[in-house]
Structure 1
C-alpha cells in the first residue's frame, strides 16, 4: 500500500505538532508519524502517572480538530524506500508514504557514558527514569541519586520525589562558576527562571560526578566525586544522563548534511536536500520552547508562507540564545572520558568492553575486532558514548532504521527490485 501526502512530518513531539498546526490552514494533505501511542514526544509523554501540561492538551485538541492532518501513531520508519518515499510499519503491517515535502522532527536521546557498574539493575538514564515513572514503575521509598549534567537532572529528581522517592543527591558535573553564570542569565527568560526556582533542590551539588555504581547483582550504592572528594551514598536507584544527542539517523539516510552532531538547517529550517526540513532537537537541543517555534517555522516554510516564517525569526533568536547558554555552561568536562575501566562495557548489546576498543582508530576498526555497535540498538547508545570518548564520528545508519518484521523487509526488497 502506498499513501500520498503533500507534507509528511516525522515525529509528533512539540516540534512536529507545531509544524503540523502551522501548515494545516493551507489545506495541504498532512501526515504526522510517531512511534508512540499518542502525540507529545518524550517531554509530553503519556502514562498512568503522567500529568500533561495545559499547553500539551491544547496542541492535542488542535491537532484533533485539523481535518487535513492525519496522525499515524505507533508507526515506525523502517527505511528510505525510493525518491521521496519512506517505508513505514505499524501494528497492521508495512506501507509506503510518498511525499512532496518532508519535515524531520525526530528529537533526541540521552547521552549515556559508561562507568563501572552502569549496567546494574537500578541504574537508568535521567530521562529514562521519568519515562518509567510516567509508565507506572513504583519508586516510592527508594533512595535515589541523580547524576550527570543539564537541567534534565532537576526535572528527573522532581518527578521521582513527587512519586515518593527519597532523593539523596543531584550530582551536576558542571563547576559552580558555570552554574552561577547560567543563573545570572536566566532573568532574560522569566519563565525559565521561575521553572528553575520551582525545581531547585537543596541536594543539588556542583562539580560532582559519578565514579561507580556499587553492588553485585543490583544497585546498592553510588561512588561520587564531589569537589575532588570521594563520597559513597547507599541507594536503590541511580538516574544518570549527560545531556542529549540529536536523532539524525533518518536525516543521514535521506542525504541531509550533518554538522556538530545535528541536522544542519538554514533560516527557513530547510535541510541541504531540497524539499526537506528539520526542527526541534534533531537540529540541536534547546528545550520545548525552541522546538515549538522551529516547528512552526518549518511548517510555514514547507507550504510557502514566507511572511509567517519571517515573523517568527525574533522568537527563534530569543530561544536560540537560551540554547547557546545551555551548551556553553553545561559543557562536559574532559575528566568524564576517564570514567570507564578496561572491563567496563561500552556496548551493552554485544558485551564489548572499553579495553577491547580503546586502541581502535574508528568505528570500522572497532567492528573488525569486536561486535561494537552491531546489536539491537545499532550503535544508538554506544555510538554517542564512543564519539565523546574517542572522537569517532557517529556510525552511518543502516537499513532497517528501526526493528522491523520479516514481511516488512521482504516488501522493501521487492520494492527495490521493482525500482
Structure 2
C-alpha cells in the first residue's frame, strides 16, 4: 500500500492555523530486522534476532519499554523478568530502541512512515516482526462516558503513571483475571476498593481455579492476588454523577446494589491490535471471540518476511508472548532449529490461555446493558439507538460518523463487533494522529544508517 500523501511531500511549506510550517527532510533508518512493539514479545524477539548478529531496530509508541503489562512509570513495580530482559536488550550493541515512535503510514514495500520526537522517519526493513499487543475491550453501559469511569486496565496504567488515588473509593468490574491485578495495584496506591465485580458465575471461576495447579506459578499468583471484595455473577449496570462519577448500580446475582464511589474501572478482556497487519496484507483470523493475526508454527504471517508475536496473535498472557517473541526472532534470522525450547513454552502457556479464555468468555447478556441513549461512539456522540437501525459498519459510518473520531473506531468498532456482529473497520491512513510536519516531510529523505 502506497502512502496517500504524495501531494503533501511535494510541498515545502504547509499552512496550519495561519502559521507557515517548514518541514524538515525525513531521515531514513535502515535495518535488517524491524520489531514494532517493545512489550514482552517485542523485547524477546529483538534479543533473539540480535543473537545472530542482525541489526535490529525496535519501535514503540510509549516513552518507556515494557508494553502494557510491563508498563513503566513512577509507581510501576516491574517483575525481575522484565528488568532482566530490558537490561539484556540494552546491552546488545546491534539493537536500537526508539521510544515514543508511532507508525503513521506505509510509504512503499518495506518502508514505513514513522513519527518520533526527533521528527519524521522513513524506516526501511528487510524482515518485520509485529508485536503490536492488544487494547482493552470497553463495552458501553449507561454512564460509561462520565469522568472517573475508565477501563480496568486503563486505571492500572494511570496509577502506574502517577495518578493519585489514595483514599478514593473505587469499584472494579468486568471479567477475567486482570481484575485481581488491577485491584492489587489500586490498593497498593492507597485506594479503597469497594468491590471487584466479576461478570461470570462462581461455577466458571471455580472451573478456572481447579486447573490452576497445572500452572503452579499462576496458582501462586492467584493466591497472592485474592481479594475479599471479589464477587462473582456481578455486573455494573450503570454509573451516575453530575460532571463526575459519584455512584454505580451493580447487579449482584438476584439483587441490585447501589454504591457511592469516586472511580469506576470496567474492562471485558483484551482485543488484539491488528490494524497495521491488515494494512500490510497479513491474514486475520478469528481466535476465540476476537480477531487476531494468523501465524504458523514459526510465527510467520501470510506475508513473506513478516512475523508476529504476542497478544496481536491472540490473547495469551506474558509468558506465551515471551516464547512467541523468541520463536519469531529466531525465525526472522533463519535459525528456527534453535526455537524448540521456546516451542514447548509456547504450547504450555497456550493451554493456559485457552483455559482462561473459555472460562471468562463473554455472554450474550452484556448486549442488553446499553440503553437507546447510551453512547457507543463517544468521539462522535452516536448512540446505541441510532446504530441499531443499521446492518453494517459501512452503512452506519456515512450518516452517523460512527468511528470517524479521534480513536478511529478502535473503541466503538470493538464494541459494535460484539453488540451487532459487525466486522471491525479497517485501519485508514494516517494510522495515528501526526504532526503536519510529519506528513509534509520531503519525499527524498536524508539517508542514515541503523545507528
Superposition TM-score, scaled by structure 1 size: 0.97
Aligned ranges for residues 91-240 of structure 1 at < 5 Å?
91-240=117-266
The 1-side partners of 2:85 and 2:344 are apart by: 22
User: Do structure 1's residue 84 and structure 2's residue 114 form an aligned pair?
Assistant: no
Aligned ranges for residues 238-277 of structure 1 at < 5 Å?
238-260=264-286, 261-277=291-307
Uncovered stretches (5+) of structure 1, i.e. residues with no partner? none
Give 1:410 deviation, angstroms.
2.4
User: Do structure 1's residue 283 and structure 2's residue 309 form an aligned pair?
Assistant: no
Give 1:312 deviation, angstroms.
2.0
Aligned ranges for residues 288-303 of structure 1 at < 5 Å?
288-303=318-333
The 2-side partners of 1:64 and 1:142 are apart by: 38
The 1-side partners of 2:211 and 2:389 are apart by: 42
Greater mean deviation of Cα atoms: 246-255 or 52-61: 52-61
Give 1:407 deviation, angstroms.
2.0
Tell me the SS of whatever aligns to 1:95: strand
Corresponding residue for residue 365 of structure 2: 335
Tell me the SS of whatever aligns to 2:123: strand
Aligned ranges for residues 324-363 of structure 1 at < 5 Å?
324-363=354-393
Superposed CA offset, 1:45-91 (max 9, x none) = 11111122111111111011100001111100001111011111101
Superposition TM-score, scaled by structure 2 size: 0.90
Uncovered stretches (5+) of structure 2, i.e. residues with no partner? 1-26, 445-451
Superposed CA offset, 1:354-407 (max 9, x none) = 111112111111112201000011001111100000011110100110111112
Corresponding residue for residue 400 of structure 1: 430
Tell me the SS of whatever aligns to 2:433: coil
Tell me the SS of whatever aligns to 2:146: coil
Tell me the SS of whatever aligns to 1:381: helix
User: Do structure 1's residue 73 and structure 2's residue 99 form an aligned pair?
Assistant: yes
Give 1:333 deviation, angstroms.
1.2
Corresponding residue for residue 395 of structure 2: 365
The 2-side partners of 1:210 and 1:311 are apart by: 43
Superposed CA offset, 1:180-237 (max 9, x none) = 1100010010000000111110111111111001112111111111113211111111
List structure 1 runs of 4+ shifted beyond 4 angstroms: none
The 2-side partners of 1:176 and 1:359 are apart by: 36
Give 1:94 deviation, angstroms.
0.6
Give 1:310 deviation, angstroms.
2.8
Superposed CA offset, 1:151-187 (max 9, x none) = 1111001100111111111111111111111000100
Check conservation: 1:341, 1:355, Cα contact below 8 A: yes
Corresponding residue for residue 404 of structure 2: 374
The 2-side partners of 1:214 and 1:392 are apart by: 29
Check conservation: 1:5, 1:30, Cα contact below 8 A: yes
Check conservation: 1:173, 1:333, Cα contact below 8 A: no
Greater mean deviation of Cα atoms: 311-320 or 185-194: 311-320
Tell me the SS of whatever aligns to 2:339: helix
Check conservation: 1:114, 1:385, Cα contact below 8 A: yes
| Number of residue equivalences | 415
Tell me the SS of whatever aligns to 1:103: strand
Check conservation: 1:45, 1:131, Cα contact below 8 A: yes
